[in-house]
Structure 1
Amino acid sequence: MTRKDDTISEERTFAALPPVRGGAFARTWWGRAWLKALEDTALDDRQVKRGRRHARSGAVGAVSVRPGRITAVVQDRDGTAYRSDVLLQELSEEEWDRLVGLAAGSAGHIAALLDREMPPHLVEDAAAVGIELLPGIGDLEPECGCEAWDHCPHTTALCYQVARLLDEDPFVLMLMRGRGERALIEALQERSSGRPAKPPEDAEEVAAAAGRRRSGVSAEEAFAGRYFLPPLPAPPVPPAAPGEPPSLDTEAAPEPGLDPTALEFLAADAAARARMLLTGVVPLGEPPLTASQDAVRLAAGAPAPWIAARLAEGSGRERAALGLAVRAWRLGGPAALAVLEEEWQPAQEALRRAETRLAEAWEASERPALRPSGPARWTVVGTDTQLRLGPDGRWWPYREEHGVWVPAGPADQDPAAALAGPAATAET
């Protein structure tokens, strides 16, 4: 294979990589494609396995990469060293011109390459016009000082080591195909700046490839790792305070059933919640609230009485029940609301653990008399206090007020600590 003009090619040398202790050699899809070409080409699986062990043990020395060839010295276990080369066909001048045109036609392709990613659509579009960037079966041609006629452990080890280099920098592959990073970037800059490009031989195939690129892929495919996703922009700096919603108080009468004041309230709540998400007060990825839960959350913001009345009606609660729900919400959000409004029956094992926890929470002389009062509930005999066990294993204190059990404090992993606040309040 011939080396192209030195003005458009170069040579790079990579220091020997440390041994690999377990795990895959290639993390990226293009690194795995490189190894698949090797494994599909080699005729003897035993040689491939031996070469993989050589690479894992750190037997591959510094790797030299230049157009059409990679080279390294690989040592056997007995210390014998062999110069090993793997040859890969370079792209022609015409193929490079067409490839640069494809890459320059998409800002995403350029951004991906500069971010050391191999854009899959670029590989697909290039293949559609007859340019194979990644090697296939038979494309990796071995030459080794051990004089093996097929891939030996030494050339195999070299290929495995190069897969690690490709993971970090796909320009290594571009150099093997005939263009170094500097020359390729300069060509992309010239082409993307408006310099007339040489028309491809088969414009219909290029147009078809571009149409496939515009059609996109499903989000499931993209996030599965098959496709390059450009880095997200830096998150915006949260404002010092939530934004004020626009006033909807206009001279024109609203449409029937539309309440401008209610819309202003919801807009203000959305702005406040957006700021909470930006500042991390509300973690991203939390389960969405139900309509009933969200009504309580909104009511906890102390809206106007008529809005609270509508929230109570919309969530199927009486005003007093909504007040209790708001009290629970302010103590512990959805978990506290569930303990107030839902009854759950612990499994026998969970119930045994809870009773053991209650027995061990106090010294024998200080332990209150507890009477089971329903599923996961224990009332302190002779008092108006109660403990409720939540599904998450935390204990919630309750107090009886006017014949109704109401939330009396935040939850605690320790039943004695949870009960201490309400008990002290009751004594005073």
Structure 2
Amino acid sequence: MSWSDDFYSSMSVDELREKARKALREAEGKGRHLAPVIVPGRTICRTWWGKAWCRNMEQYLDYENRLPRGRSYVRNGAVIDLIIGEGKVSALVQGSRSRPYEVEIRVSALGKAKMKKVSALCSRELDSLEELVKGKFPKSLETLLTEEGALFPTAREIRFDCSCPDWALMCKHVAAVMYGIGVRLDENPFYFFILRGMDPEALLRHTVEDHVEKLLAHRDVKNDRIIADAEMEKLFHLEEE
């Protein structure tokens, strides 16, 4: 079979699912632990931030017909492995060939100035970090996703690579992985920070420390609601007799 035959060949959903299951079984038989993307229903992403990621990534496409194919692939279990690391996503996508295609997506790290801006915003929204820890991206930090050049990478800040023969920048396998990233973000919004080269634990630690420093810096500030020691003694009759 030539590469063109492979590229234009069509599979039924059942064939695709069976190939994906077979690839997973073979990997397990070789002692490899894969992390497949599981989409429980027709809706790929359930959260507002996962959906926002998918809408943003759809602007990267160069051939529109790759998107519906990518959605079909991720819904039917073709993304048999997807790992998100610092500035990098590695994935395996089952296609018409017996061997899964290898997909790599690289995202540029935020510059120091942008990292500082993100950290400052998080410091102002300390209560919102509790939602992040609970697995929810707070609406109060939505600007981090909607502002250009923040956590959503621009087209210039993201690079795709797939081992398939398709000439499109975003082939159907890459599209499937991009939707799969949305599923992972549903599960853990901290991946937004990891993708942009930020350490979530360090971000949390810095935010809390910064908040504590601000509280300590105002510890001697007078407030009309604070009762002076002398007045407290009079109020509760604590004067020495």
Whether 2:192 is the aligned partner of 1:173: answer yes
Residue 37 of structure 2, aligned match among 17, 32, 37: 17
Moved more, 186-195 or 41-50: 186-195
1:2-24 Cα shifts (integer Å, max 9, x gaps): xxxxxxxxxxx982133x36421
Contact 2:93 2:103 in 1 (8 A): yes
- CA gap of 1:150–1:125, structure 2 versus 1, over 3 A, is closer
How far apart, in 2, do the equivalents of 1:174 and 1:106 lie? Answer: 16
Q: CA deviation at 1:138?
A: 5.7
Of the two structures, which has the highest relative contact order with CA contacts closer than 8 Å and spacing of 6 or more?
A: 2
Look up the match of 1:134: 152
Gaps of 5+ in 2: 1-32, 216-241
Look up the match of 1:82: 101
Q: How does 1:87-98 map to 2 (within 5 A)?
A: 87-98=106-117
Task: Say which SS state the counterpart of residue 197 (structure 2) adopts.
Answer: coil
Q: How does 1:252-267 map to 2 (within 5 A)?
A: none
Q: CA deviation at 1:136?
A: 4.6
Contact 2:62 2:168 in 1 (8 A): no
Look up the match of 1:43: 62
How far apart, in 1, do the equivalents of 2:145 and 2:182 lie? Answer: 21
Q: How does 1:230-249 map to 2 (within 5 A)?
A: none
Contact 2:109 2:196 in 1 (8 A): yes
Return the letter of the residue paired with 1:102: L
How far apart, in 2, do the equivalents of 1:193 and 1:100 lie? Answer: 15
Query: Greater helix share, 1 or 2?
Result: 2
Task: Say which SS state the counterpart of residue 99 (structure 1) adopts.
Answer: helix
- CA gap of 1:195–1:144, structure 2 versus 1, over 3 A, is farther
Task: Say which SS state the counterpart of residue 44 (structure 1) adopts.
Answer: coil
Contact 1:101 1:191 in 2 (8 A): no
- The percentage of aligned residue pairs carrying the same residue is 25
Q: CA deviation at 1:67?
A: 2.0
Contact 2:126 2:207 in 1 (8 A): no
1:315-336 Cα shifts (integer Å, max 9, x gaps): xxxxxxxxxxxxxxxxxxxxxx
Look up the match of 1:146: 164
Moved more, 62-71 or 138-147: 138-147
Contact 2:162 2:174 in 1 (8 A): yes
How far apart, in 2, do the equivalents of 1:179 and 1:14 lie? Answer: 25
Task: Say which SS state the counterpart of residue 143 (structure 1) adopts.
Answer: strand
Q: How does 1:307-346 map to 2 (within 5 A)?
A: none
Q: CA deviation at 1:94?
A: 2.4
Task: Say which SS state the counterpart of residue 24 (structure 1) adopts.
Answer: coil
Residue 101 of structure 1, aligned match among 107, 120, 124: 120
C-alpha RMSD of matched pairs (Å): 2.6
- Paired residues in the alignment total 182
Contact 2:66 2:175 in 1 (8 A): yes
Contact 1:103 1:110 in 2 (8 A): yes
Contact 1:37 1:139 in 2 (8 A): no
Return the letter of the residue paired with 2:209: E
Return the letter of the residue paired with 2:99: T
1:200-220 Cα shifts (integer Å, max 9, x gaps): xxxxxxxxxxxxxxxxxxxxx
Find the structure with the greater CA-based Rg.
1
Moved over 3 A (4+): 125-128, 135-140
- CA gap of 1:77–1:56, structure 2 versus 1, over 3 A, is farther
How far apart, in 2, do the equivalents of 1:127 and 1:40 lie? Answer: 14
Task: Say which SS state the counterpart of residue 61 (structure 1) adopts.
Answer: strand
Residue 155 of structure 1, aligned match among 174, 179, 182: 174
Contact 2:162 2:173 in 1 (8 A): yes
How far apart, in 2, do the equivalents of 1:45 and 1:161 lie? Answer: 18
- CA gap of 1:141–1:22, structure 2 versus 1, over 3 A, is same
Q: CA deviation at 1:160?
A: 1.1
- CA gap of 1:126–1:60, structure 2 versus 1, over 3 A, is closer
How far apart, in 2, do the equivalents of 1:136 and 1:14 lie? Answer: 29
Q: CA deviation at 1:137?
A: 5.2
How far apart, in 2, do the equivalents of 1:48 and 1:112 lie? Answer: 31
How far apart, in 2, do the equivalents of 1:157 and 1:32 lie? Answer: 14
Contact 1:63 1:71 in 2 (8 A): yes
Task: Say which SS state the counterpart of residue 121 (structure 1) adopts.
Answer: helix
Gaps of 5+ in 1: 1-12, 197-428
Question: With structure 1 as the length reference, what TM-score do the two structures score?
Answer: 0.39
Look up the match of 2:15: none
Look up the match of 1:118: 137
Q: CA deviation at 1:55?
A: 0.9
Q: CA deviation at 1:89?
A: 2.1
Look up the match of 1:30: 49
How far apart, in 2, do the equivalents of 1:125 and 1:143 lie? Answer: 26
Return the letter of the residue paired with 2:211: S
How far apart, in 1, do the equivalents of 2:203 and 2:209 lie? Answer: 10
How far apart, in 1, do the equivalents of 2:145 and 2:58 lie? Answer: 23
